[in-house]
Structure formats: C-alpha cells, structure tokens
Amino acid sequence: MFVAIKEQHKGVDVCINNAGLSHPEPLLSGKTSAWKNIMDVNVLALSICTREAYQSMKERNVDDGHIININSLCGHKVIPFADFHLYTATKYAVTALTEGLRQELRAEKTHIRATSISPGLVATEFISRASSKNPDEVAAFYATTKSLKTKDIASTVTYILSTSPHVQVCAYFQSVWT
C-alpha cells in the first residue's frame, strides 16, 4: 500500500490509523485465531502503518506530519463485557504505542505529532461485526444506548489537524459505561 501511495502521491503527510475490529471471543473460551486477528489489525497493522508513514515523512523532510491513532475508551478502562476483553487489551496497547511514538518522535527532534482519540460508543458497523448479537438485537441496542455519530469523530480529527504545533489535544469521549 505504501509503495502505491509513493507512486501515486509521493508519500504520506498524515496517517490516520482507523482500521480496528473485535470478535466475540472471551478470555475463558475464545478462539486463538480470532485473538490473533484482533492483535494483527489493532496492534501490528497500526504499528506497521505508523513506521511506514514516519519513514515516508522522513525521506521527504516533512516536519509537520501527523499520526493519529483511533483508540477507544477501552484503551483506558476495562468494561464489564467479556466479548470485548481481548479487544480492550489491544486498545490499552494503542495507548502505550501512542505515548511511545510521541517519545521517539521527540528524541528524533521532529515536529511530527502523535495523537490518540478515544471515543466511547459510536454508531457504526462495529457492534454488528464484533458482538454475538443478531441484527435485531444490534438495532435495539443502538435504539436504547446513547452513541456518538461518525461525524463527531471526523470533526475531532479535523480540529486536531488544525491546532498549532505546540498544542497537544487529549480527546476522551464520555461513555455510557464510565
């Protein structure tokens, strides 16, 4: 993907690590293959894209780039839902990876920024893919549970990209579970 980006657009200035998933596989009974898939996408792919984006910025002397990780409230609090415990571990990893990235960027004396955005529940396809609920149960869940809209997350990303270089934004969204 990064080779194709280089050919078509020269490189990456902003990387938003959004891809993420979960499977309803609790810690006491879940399938190893499902856990590996969650780790691959939520932790490894995010780390690979971060490394490739940084290298792309570095080779083109881009000093005002930005790497934004779409984290979750699950990156800061363990919610009482067994289906999401392995997912929660990967989002805690995203919290650590964002802070580690910030420290490495600082050591490199670059002004490329690292940001983590931690939404609570957002109305997307996430729950229908990640839980064992059937479509009617998912619809009932969203009808009775307060959720953010995707435009709330998009506005947050736009705001963060527009802030001055010295500003560090800490974006947590209130959740029904906190």
Ligand X SMILES: NC(=O)c1ccc[n+]([C@@H]2O[C@H](COP(=O)([O-])OP(=O)(O)OC[C@H]3O[C@@H](n4cnc5c(N)ncnc54)[C@H](OP(=O)(O)O)[C@@H]3O)[C@@H](O)[C@H]2O)c1
- Which residues contact ligand X by CB under 6 A? 18-21, 41, 70, 72, 119, 121-122, 124-126, 129
Question: Minimum CB separation from ligand X for residue 45, in Å?
Answer: 7
* Identity of the residue, 59 or 178, whose beta carbon is nearer to ligand X in the bound complex: 178
Question: Minimum CB separation from ligand X for residue 162, in Å?
Answer: 21
Distances, alpha carbon 26 to alpha carbons 56, 74, 83, in Å: 38, 15, 5
* Encoded tokens for 46: 């995010």
Residue found by looking up tokens 């729950």 in the block: 127
Question: Minimum CB separation from ligand X for residue 178, in Å?
Answer: 13
Q: Which long-range contacts (CB under 8 A, 24 or more apart) does 101-107 make?
A: 101/50, 101/67, 105/54
Residue 87 a catalytic site member:
yes
* Identity of the residue, 81 or 126, whose beta carbon is nearer to ligand X in the bound complex: 126
Active-site residue (options: 87, 92, 159, 172): 87
Closest residue to ligand X: CB criterion:
20
Angle at 80 between CA 93 and CA 86, to 5 degrees: 35
Active site residues: 87
